[in-house]
Structure 1
């Protein structure tokens, strides 16, 4: 039986989807199942009428810690909201970085860098 401490990630925030012009935009929490290459950082567009996935966008890169022997824990959305009067979303991730998403052009533009000491906490069981 292994009794060594095992690091675990605190639960990510429950970020509500945003609906614009018949499309629901939501964080893709199962990005690996849809061709993603990292845990977190993906936005998907779903047709509200049919439930069909229209597209997926990588909003930001998540640093891969595997080369140093550490599991990559993921970096997820903290907030997501529509920019008033525009077909754009503003997303903030758990590190405090903010991004502007143009849902028509399907582009992500960084607005700010991470704030110091804002990475998601890791819990180590006692």
Structure 2
């Protein structure tokens, strides 16, 4: 008996958490269990001592594919603390770069592809 076709993709890149000022920041791979509405694109702040989730932020929109039964998601490729110590620099798998203000809990697109901007026609 043959198996039915299934959607597949390579596993998301491994991105190490960043610990800063007593908080661990990591890509939220369980955002759907905590009110997230898309696969990927979420940052979560965690108390490292207790494991308690402090807050969650949608860093970028993940484009959906109409009529696709499976949405493959778009995950972080890299994440690091910016030199100013108050922002995280995040790059996603598509090359979009974002700056997250850790105090204001706000993300800003910096460069590369951004799902909120329409693709330019050629």
Q: Would you say the 8 A contact 1:98–1:111 is kept in 2?
A: yes
Shift of 1:48: 1.9
Q: 1:108 to 1:3 in 2, by over 3 A?
A: same
1:33 lines up with 2:33 in the alignment:
yes
Aligned to 1:119: none
- The residue aligned with 1:82 is 81
Cα distance between partner residues in 2 of 1:72 and 1:49: 34
Question: Partners in 2 of 1:4 and 1:50 — Cα distance?
Answer: 42
| Alpha-carbon offset, residue 5 of structure 1 | 4.7
- Contact 1:15–1:79, Cα closer than 8 Å, also in 2: yes
- Look up the match of 1:14: 14
Q: Aligned residue for 1:112?
A: 111
Deviation at 1:70, TM superposition (A): 4.5
Unpaired stretches in structure 1, ≥5 consecutive residues: 116-126
Deviating above 6 A after TM superposition, structure 1's stretches of 4 or more consecutive aligned residues are none
- Indicate how the Cα distance of structure 1 residues 2 and 109 shifts in structure 2: closer, same or farther if over 3 A, else same: same
Give RMSD over aligned pairs.
Answer: 1.7
The alignment's TM-score, normalised by the length of structure 2, stands at 0.85
- Unmatched tracts of structure 2, length 5 or more: 115-122
Q: Relative contact order (alpha carbons < 8 A, sep ≥ 6): 1 or 2 greater?
A: 1
Deviation track 1:65-87 (CA, whole Å, cap 9, x = no partner) reads: 2x323421010000000002321
Q: Report how many aligned residue pairs link the two structures.
A: 114
